[in-house]
Amino acid sequence: MSELDIIVDEPTPPLEKDELVVVTWNINSIRARVDLFAKMVRKVKPDIVLLQETRCADGNFPSKTMVSRGFKHIALNGRNGHHGVAVLSKVPIRDIRADMIGGVDQPRHVSAVVDFGEPIRLHSLYIPAGGDEPDPEINPKFKDKLAFVDGMVSWGAEAVGETSLLTGDFNIAPYEHDVWSHRQLLGVVSHTPAETERLEAVRTSQGWVDIVRRDRPMDEKVYTWWSYRNKTWPGNNRGRRLDHIWGSPTIADRVTTEILTEARGWEKASDHVPLIARIKRAG
């Protein structure tokens, strides 16, 4: 597991606003999309950003740039390669953790606590994509994916005991209208029953609230990812909802969400778009 890199510049005053704005985003290489990150920040004005697929070792993360933009509190869990997660915060964070889940020894989780009237743990989670063939006997990437989600059974049971948001790129579209064609994608990695049933079992057994779907009709098509094979935007709009915001029962009713769909059409876009969580202060 990578070491955590925490940067704290000068002291930051306590957060006194009534709403905490949190963004989760698979940015698909932070160094390649620093300017895109800045564009998102100007538009959304988040207090905290949770990133997945940073694609760089901690020592190569553009931390000075982030500090210059107000994100003075940073927790990283990354190595060279296609993984890596981060917490970037304008307000103090503490009790930082990076967990290995399901025995998958890759930097796919980091979390931290922010005090916002109460301690709230924010998780940045990056479930393995799983490769192309949905057969764990011949595809080790899919085997790792299933092991990771299976590992969430015990891991998540502890995590949901805190007031927390579990966010990130889960690489699973669990429901019929989370994909452009349920029938055609049942045998495609990200929507196979082996994945969707496991993820839903984790969520329901532990009491997590899928906030994005809670606030939208189940028969409404909701997407957060569109393949790069779609050369035009929005093109045929064949998307999938791979990115998620789950809330523990102690906080879910104080959280609303938005999907920044327009970001998929930005120049040099990630294939994922940012999700925005707005958390109301308790009381």
Beta strands in 6-72 (DSSP E): 7-8, 19-26, 48-52
* Local confidence band at 2 (pLDDT 50, 70, 90 cut-offs): very low
- Cβ 275 vs Cβ 234: under 8 Å: no
Distances in Å between the alpha carbon of 261 and those of 40, 175, 234, 242, 268?
Answer: 12, 19, 10, 13, 15
How much is the pTM?
0.95
- Cβ 204 vs Cβ 251: under 8 Å: no
- Cβ 74 vs Cβ 87: under 8 Å: yes
- Cβ 110 vs Cβ 87: under 8 Å: yes
pLDDT digits (tens, 9 = 90+) for 117-128: 999 999 999 999
Residue type at 39 in one-letter notation: K
What are the residue ranges spanned by the domains of the chain? Answer: 7-280
* Local confidence band at 12 (pLDDT 50, 70, 90 cut-offs): low
What pLDDT score does 16 carry?
72
pLDDT digits (tens, 9 = 90+) for 66-102: 999 999 999 999 998 889 999 999 999 999 999 999 9
What pLDDT score does 62 carry?
96
Least confident of 9-13, 54-58, 141-145, 254-258: 9-13
Please provide the distance, in angstroms rounded to a whole number, between the alpha carbons at the two ends of the chain. Answer: 38
**Once rounded to an integer, what is the mean pLDDT over residues 46-52?**
98
CATH of 7-280, one of 3.30.1330.10, 3.30.300.30, 3.40.50.10860, 3.60.10.10: 3.60.10.10
Residue type at 135 in one-letter notation: D
Residues above pLDDT 70, as percent of the chain: 95
pLDDT at residue 9 tops 50: no
Q: How many residues does the structure list for the chain?
A: 283
pLDDT digits (tens, 9 = 90+) for 167-223: 999 999 999 999 999 999 999 999 999 999 999 999 999 999 999 999 999 999 999
pLDDT at residue 7 tops 60: no
Distance (Å, rounded) from C-alpha 163 to C-alpha 35? 33
pLDDT digits (tens, 9 = 90+) for 148-173: 999 999 999 999 999 999 999 999 99
**Would you state the structure tokens that stand for residue 70, as one six-digit string?**
């107000």
Distance (Å, rounded) from C-alpha 124 to C-alpha 250? 19
